[in-house]
Amino acid sequence: MSSPVVTRIAPSPTGSMHIGNARSALFNWLYAKHTGGKFLLRVEDTDRERSTEASVQVIFDSLTWLGLMWDGEPVFQFARAPIHKAAVQRLLDAGHAYHDYLTVAEADALKEESRAAGHALRSPWRDRKPGPTEEGKPHVIRFRTPDEGDTVVEDKVRGTVRFPNKDIEDFVLMRTDGTVIYNLAVTVDDHDMGVTHVIRGEEHLSNGGRQTLLYKALGWDVPVFAHLPLILGKDGGKLSKRHGAQSVGDFREMGYLPEGVRNYLAKLGWGHGDDELFTDEEAIAWFDVVDVVKAGARLDFDKLNHVNNWHIRRADDTRLAELVLPILRDERHLALPDDALARLEAAIPLVKEGAKTLQELADLSLYAIKVRPLALDDKTIGNLTDETRGRLARLVEALRGANDWTPQGLQDLLKAFAESEGVGLGKIGPALRGVLSGGVQAPDLGSALASLGRDESIGRIQDALSHLR
């Protein structure tokens, strides 16, 4: 019986979570969910200068916002340093590692000579025992790479990948200061955490060869590797600042929903037929790491906007209102009425179809939370002729008596009112829109009236009429 699947995400605390790391986290999470396994979190915090409490919190916040909750407690790599050093000693005892007393300059020169000879670095210290003159001297500990054959990585995305051992140098396991290098720490941590599937970016493919050597030297089962394609810019170039947002925080600030980001990121390197829009439940049911493609995936904001709009339209209106409110209050520093949340809840279902982001949804909902009396723009003032003002005053009476306060009922009322006035709706519509919205975006007149409510709608019209007397 095969062991349960255990995946992991192992970010370094750099102050932000790159969208590539987020995609890796998503694929690990999806595969764990798909197989009924576990998704673990390890914080690779060995760089003590960068690993501040705040930068670690960014990792937690990013994954939590994305909805990619890990199982169990996070593992912190730095705290496991004694375990890593014990593994190095085990490799030394088994003859798979050796003390190397080459200076940095000597090692660099030997690397050049080795390259010219057609193989990677092999230190002369791999066949020498340190003597009394070496005692106490600074040195590194290197892995003793086999001279012959290939190291083979069976990758679920790349297929069979061969690394000729002559091209793999005797890589450092422990530095002169006693700290271990990345590949050793990762191998030990993944083994001890029970990780069965290492799903990560293709930039780690060469590490897969070194880590395979370490697993075998330590007598451990090698996990399944799957190296994901790069995320590229829309132009096919390496993703950079010129392509726009790159971190999870950026996407959050731009107003994307976490489920929209999850849906879109899932499509960057994986797919299920022609399905572009899907729920988490569908993605979990469909996802298999063997279906990930090799080719780089392009980050296309037009497609992301399309996906996010679909999720906004599906989202609960109260939740959307609670997300839009702080944008208007905290980011835009607007004075809001006491019932702002209720107004947003009424407006959002009538306008969300046109919003690709929460920022756009805030723009489309702004009319609803304006505080009376509204400032009128020049265009609206110009439309409020004496004749139009008279009609709006009579419209107020019609609105007071309206029995059907729904978008369609109010649209029908406006049409009937215009006919009773002997004019088309275009004679009063522009002025009414300006009076109700204060000159910002608003839905059709029936929807605007319905979402504002009878008292607020009539109050806004009367404010405008009083202001212009």
Take residue 34 and report the two structure tokens written for it: 């798909």
Take residue 404 and report the two structure tokens written for it: 């059907």
3-state secondary structure of 225: strand
Q: Please calculate the CA angle 452-253-53 and round it to the nearest 5 degrees.
A: 130
113: phi then psi, degrees, rounded to nearest 5: -65, -40
Nearest to 233 by CA among 298, 322, 303, 164: 298
CA pair distance 121, 111, nearest whole angstrom: 5
Pairing of strands 172-174, 197-201: unpaired
CA pair distance 65, 42, nearest whole angstrom: 17
Take residue 46 and report the two structure tokens written for it: 């060995």
CA pair distance 55, 372, nearest whole angstrom: 43
CA pair distance 385, 420, nearest whole angstrom: 19
Judge whether 409 and 445 are in contact, CB under 8 Å: no
C-alpha radius of gyration, the chain, whole number: 32
Which of the residues 137, 241, 352, 370 is marked catalytic? 241
Question: Which region holds residue 169: left if phi is over 0, alpha if psi is between -120 and 50, else beta?
Answer: beta
Q: How far is CA 424 from CA 328, 380, 428, in A?
A: 36, 18, 8
CA pair distance 198, 431, nearest whole angstrom: 62
CA pair distance 29, 31, nearest whole angstrom: 6
* Continuous H helices in 193-316: 205-217, 248-253, 258-266, 280-286, 301-314
CA pair distance 449, 281, nearest whole angstrom: 38
Peptide bond into 132 cis (omega under 30): no
Take residue 72 and report the two structure tokens written for it: 């169990």
Active site residue 238: no
Judge whether 41 and 74 are in contact, CB under 8 Å: yes
CA pair distance 265, 425, nearest whole angstrom: 46
Could you give the residue numbers annotated as active site? 241
